[in-house]
Structure 1
Amino acid sequence: MKKFITLLFLLIFTGCAINEPLRNRTLNDEKIAIIDTKTNKSIPYSTFIDKIQKHNIILLGEYHEIPNHMAMEVRIFKSLNELQNLDVVFEMLSSDKQAKINEAKAKQILPNELKNAIDWDEKWDYRNYGELVESVFYSNSNLIAGNLSKDEINTIFNGALPIYGKFSTTDEIKKALKTFVATSHKLENDEKNSALLDKFIQVQLYKDRRMADKLVHSKTKSLLIAGQIHASKTVGVYNHILDFDLKKSVVSVMLGDEKSFDLLNAQDAIKAFCDYYIVFK
């Protein structure tokens, strides 16, 4: 488990390079490698789409600050949507906004009105996400709000009952999340901050459970757009899906960058982390 935790942090915290936000970003296939972690070999994009579309649930993990990732998500969504309509679950939208999304769809809101109509949270840069959100919204697929509301987060933080699961709340996962949360919130992982970190962990677990709930109860193929830690097989939504005990197949895809290319040599660890890893060289 220690090796997996180390890899998790190397993968998540090495992707800090920020590109200029752009729509209609062109991706150069010669500078993209799609790695099948079972074999540690690169596969063509068409083969990749053929493989992942066979699964009921597709987890797609990103770095939130890299527009190339959103551009790749647009491309993957459009490729999958050509084959079948999807439920696309967004970490960036809280579940209480679903009614606004449905209303905007019914009113056929124009693209320049969509951001306000669905009450998009400004903490997510819409210059990065706009093309992806609009690609889903104006397709025959469904835009699904998959995260907790601010009121729900406050309730959990102020003392909601802990969440339980056979696969998703093990001591190993909680330990990994505690290290991740401490790092991301710039807190020392010590006795002084232990109670505070435990609250953050519960919020993280509830977020993953909510997204898993949306995915497993979809009546069609479902796609998750979320940060890497949520989409990982080691500590994220994947384990909550297992706790629902549904007979749906799940595949995990991670988006990385040139800094994480060498990490693919840790084959056993990355195979546990995800099924496919896309590197922008």
Structure 2
Amino acid sequence: MLWFVLKKVNVLCSALLCGALLTACVSPDPFEIGHTQVYSAKKQQHLTFAQWIDALQSYDVLLIGEKHDDVRHHQAQLALLQALHRHRAIRAVALEMLPSSKQAAFIQAQRTAQEQLRRDPATDASVIKAGLEWPASWDWAQYRSLVMWMLREQIPMIGANLDQTELAIIAKGAQPLKGRVSTAPEVHEALSQLVSGHHLESDTPVQALVQAQQFKDRRMAESLVRNAKPVVLLAGNVHVNKKLGVPLHLQDYGQRKVVSIMLVSSFDGRDADQADYFWVIN
């Protein structure tokens, strides 16, 4: 997982102003698709949202990126999933936020949550969060609306990541992954450079960080391959990167109807080979 964490915020204001700022952080302006732009890397042009949804119908595996702590990205993901589901039922959504090792328990937790919502549609989201045992390391406020919508639509959620025990084993040393394109030297080198920049204060060797990243990507790919189609993955932008992440592992698995979507704050046309579509959210 490669993502930035804001470690310290110094706010010099009155208690009332602090409350207002916090409210603004968790309650952004309503999301409007018309204020976004979709860029097709293949066509080298912008598409309307309707054109884009039509184009996405031909794919079996849809990889949707995000900046984990950007609430606008999660609002956009929800709008996209809703539009896709209206046109063609989504069979499952795989989540970077959940480990695949706990999938059996998570399936039962989803069923329980769906029954709670059926009996009482006004069930508080905090009750659902507790029942799902949502990981504390992933901000529930960012994902609440997505999860609640999927539960109400009865779209299965799939844990697609490694758990901490697996990561600890990998950190101690694991057999290198094998793959035709996913483990190529140029991929390893690019990941090494990226990881080095993102983990400047880490004591973990770069090689170990790269290996963990690739094992995560492989697990996400496996989760997608095993499930009914169309299936969606929600993960960080690095994981959906066509040059570095899950798309390469899916290619090794022989998956061809795969599309990668990056959510970004701006796009100037550079690095267009990293995804099939760039969705500019501002």
Instruction: Say whether residues 1:147 and 2:152 are aligned partners.
Output: no
Equivalences for 1:45-60 in 2 at 5 Å?
45-60=49-64
Which has the larger Rg? 2
Structure 1 position 223, deviation (Å): 0.5
What SS class does the counterpart of residue 230 from structure 1 fall into?
coil
Q: What are the ranges of 5 or more consecutive residues in structure 1 without an aligned counterpart? A: 1-8
Partner of 1:196: 205
Deviates more, 1:86-95 or 1:195-204: 195-204
What SS class does the counterpart of residue 175 from structure 2 fall into?
coil
CA distance in structure 1 between the aligned counterparts of 2:70 and 2:84, rounded to whole angstroms: 22
Q: What are the ranges of 5 or more consecutive residues in structure 2 without an aligned counterpart? A: 5-21, 118-124
Structure 1 position 109, deviation (Å): 4.0
CA distance in structure 2 between the aligned counterparts of 1:68 and 1:186, rounded to whole angstroms: 27
Equivalences for 1:158-177 in 2 at 5 Å?
158-177=172-191
User: Residues 29, 81 of structure 1: CA spacing in aligned structure 2 closer, same or farther, 3 A cutoff?
Assistant: closer
CA distance in structure 1 between the aligned counterparts of 2:100 and 2:26, rounded to whole angstroms: 26
Partner of 1:98: 103
Partner of 2:258: 250
Please give the TM-score of this superposition, normalised by the length of structure 1. 0.83
Q: How many residues align?
A: 253
Q: What letter matches 1:101 in structure 2?
A: F
Query: Are the counterparts in 2 of residues 168 and 243 from structure 1 also a CA contact under 8 Å?
Result: yes
Identity over the aligned pairs, expressed in percent?
Answer: 29
User: Residues 175, 187 of structure 1: CA spacing in aligned structure 2 closer, same or farther, 3 A cutoff?
Assistant: farther
CA distance in structure 2 between the aligned counterparts of 1:175 and 1:21, rounded to whole angstroms: 38
User: Residues 97, 115 of structure 1: CA spacing in aligned structure 2 closer, same or farther, 3 A cutoff?
Assistant: farther
Partner of 2:120: none
Partner of 1:61: 65
Q: What letter matches 1:58 in structure 2?
A: L
Partner of 2:276: 275
Q: What letter matches 2:26 in structure 1?
A: P
Query: Are the counterparts in 2 of residues 233 and 273 from structure 1 also a CA contact under 8 Å?
Result: yes
Q: What letter matches 1:202 in structure 2?
A: Q
Equivalences for 1:118-157 in 2 at 5 Å?
118-157=132-171
Query: Are the counterparts in 2 of residues 215 and 224 from structure 1 also a CA contact under 8 Å?
Result: yes
Deviates more, 1:208-217 or 1:30-39: 30-39
